Structure 1
């Protein structure tokens, strides 16, 4: 076996192969022949699936500088070296089905990376530096032990596919609503209690899968015309109690996990928006829709307030007005919508979030 491996690598060097397949070789260590002398300077794709590797060499980027794809599915890799960040041309990295406990921040230096697959590992967190991967299109972190996703993930402006199924996530960062190119989001089998109010506001997002989140009772109405997987969500049937009292109880359940930023859930009877909310909306308009694009910011504000203005709690589902401290919710039980016959194993409802009682009265999910 060793002589066969040696001959394979030798031939790749002599013939300047761009692709090298070392799958199913029972390798316990990274082959020394790959790293001898000048290495394989012409190699672009290295496939090492189903081996027993536990780590990668520190000089990998030095010996294989032109790697575009590194496929390490189904090994026993516990940690990857910081030098991984030196693979400047790498576009695809597959570390699925390994034993990763940590992901080093230097992954954020892989500025050419387009596909990162980390499913079926033992990751409890992701480094914020993932947000530096501006060309990243695919991120698969399903079947790990993640309790949160980094807020800086919204900086991955090219991200199209995000899968985080089978983790321990209790919420989805509202910053992800800023991912303008995201087409598919999958977060099935987590511990989600709510979804960001703006999720689904982008035309690009077409597929959302949140099946088997038992405490998830409400979906933003922005998702109404999307392809939604929500079987197994909710615990008790919504709207089982007759009358307005039942509706209020169902709505309270659907909103139970909303972020702390919602200081008050306004009712339709409320006609006056709180002064704090009006001030925030006015500042948002001044900073994001200035009358003169060349004029300096009208009022100097602390960074914490600027961050809040950049990522409002949500936008009105009727008029798109930004909202910061108060919402007017309207419940649409699934049994009243066109999706009732599709999702037979769920008790989830759609919730419209409006900025005023006027918008609330005129909003129609079916319209």
Structure 2
């Protein structure tokens, strides 16, 4: 593995590659080969998804000054250095599914940043300096521990999509209603008790998802000509394993997926047993991946064992791996009484977008 990594970096240097894929390499530290001598001055896109990195080097911007996209999805990164702010050309930064507890204020210096993904971390607050990112178009902070959003977000005048599902938000800053280009707002599964009365006044805002906020009793009148409803991947995250059936492989106990309960109902489609088994094994393996003997190869046929180590892709929403199929993203939408005004928009949204639209970003 080490020799393959070294060869890949050497070839990238010699051939002046603009894209470098170092996904699934079991990396614990940032490869020193990337930082030697002058580094990779010509590199624009670096993919390091699903490794075991814990931090980033302080001289990253010095050695990789032309980075436009940096994908660090699914590592163990606990903090990012202040020097991250020196990546002047960076347009897309993905730190989803890590161990971040805080985001340094220097992130506000990334004035070229357009896409920032921080989902599935342990963030309790966001720096007010996010408001300095006036070119930011998408921000995903779902599945964290946030109780508030910074009021300064209203300064992100280019923001089109804000995703903050599954946090502990009790209210939204009224300043968010001032965002001129905001088109999609995702606030499902929070603790919202009310919404700003002028939310939805902007004609640009078309999609609002505030389902699973049990204390939210009503919507502002401006939202009644928008598309509102549910979002997600169709699999409830709150189903207790204790209530599920399970399979036993010797000492290994693997609960069956919740989809099994949907057989014979119209609520959910049922995936193939092969796909469901692979996903549940992946969950069990993730919980015990420090134990190298946890998943012996003989539990799976060789073809599936190879696929298990490198899935076909991952859902861009919840990061759930997809092993045997990549299926369209079909989220149920609940239209309001006046949704006929948006019938064409709703149809385009629900039938054309799929997980494969993001293949370049997540399916390597």
Taking structure 1 as the reference length, the TM-score comes to 0.63
* 1:229 to partner: Cα distance: 1.4
Counterparts of 1:189-204 in structure 2, within 5 Å, are 189-204=189-204
* Match of residue 348 from structure 1: none
Q: Tell me, in whole angstroms, the C-alpha distance in 1 between the residues paired with 2:4 and 2:97.
A: 26
* Match of residue 220 from structure 1: 220
- The 8 Å contact of residues 130 and 152 in structure 2, kept in 1 or not, is answered as yes
Q: Tell me, in whole angstroms, the C-alpha distance in 2 between the residues paired with 1:126 and 1:138.
A: 15
- The 8 Å contact of residues 225 and 338 in structure 2, kept in 1 or not, is answered as no
Tell me: CA distance 1:17–1:230, structure 2 relative to 1, closer, same or farther (3 Å).
Answer: closer
Q: Tell me, in whole angstroms, the C-alpha distance in 1 between the residues paired with 2:145 and 2:30.
A: 28
* Match of residue 116 from structure 1: 116
* Match of residue 56 from structure 2: 56
Q: Tell me, in whole angstroms, the C-alpha distance in 1 between the residues paired with 2:149 and 2:12.
A: 40
After TM superposition, what 4+ stretches of structure 1 lie above 2 angstroms from structure 2?
A: 336-339
Matched, 1:176 2:176: yes
What count of residue pairs does the alignment treat as equivalent?
A: 236
Unaligned runs of 5+ in 2: 232-333, 340-364
* Match of residue 13 from structure 1: 13
Counterparts of 1:40-119 in structure 2, within 5 Å, are 40-119=40-119
* Match of residue 297 from structure 1: none
Q: Tell me, in whole angstroms, the C-alpha distance in 1 between the residues paired with 2:199 and 2:90.
A: 31
* 1:186 to partner: Cα distance: 0.4
* Match of residue 308 from structure 1: none
Higher RCO (CA < 8 A, seq sep 6+): 1
Secondary structure (helix, strand or coil) at the match of 2:196 reads coil
Greater CA radius of gyration, 1 or 2? 1
Matched, 1:29 2:40: no
Unaligned runs of 5+ in 1: 232-333, 340-367
Q: Tell me, in whole angstroms, the C-alpha distance in 1 between the residues paired with 2:76 and 2:186.
A: 26
Q: Tell me, in whole angstroms, the C-alpha distance in 2 between the residues paired with 1:42 and 1:198.
A: 47
Taking structure 2 as the reference length, the TM-score comes to 0.64
Q: Tell me, in whole angstroms, the C-alpha distance in 2 between the residues paired with 1:27 and 1:338.
A: 52
Q: Tell me, in whole angstroms, the C-alpha distance in 2 between the residues paired with 1:9 and 1:96.
A: 24
Provide the alpha-carbon RMSD of the alignment: 1.5
- The 8 Å contact of residues 101 and 122 in structure 2, kept in 1 or not, is answered as yes
Instruction: Determine which structure has the larger helix proportion and give its number.
Output: 2
**1:183-216 deviation digits (Å, cap 9, x = unpaired):** 0000000000000011000010000000000010
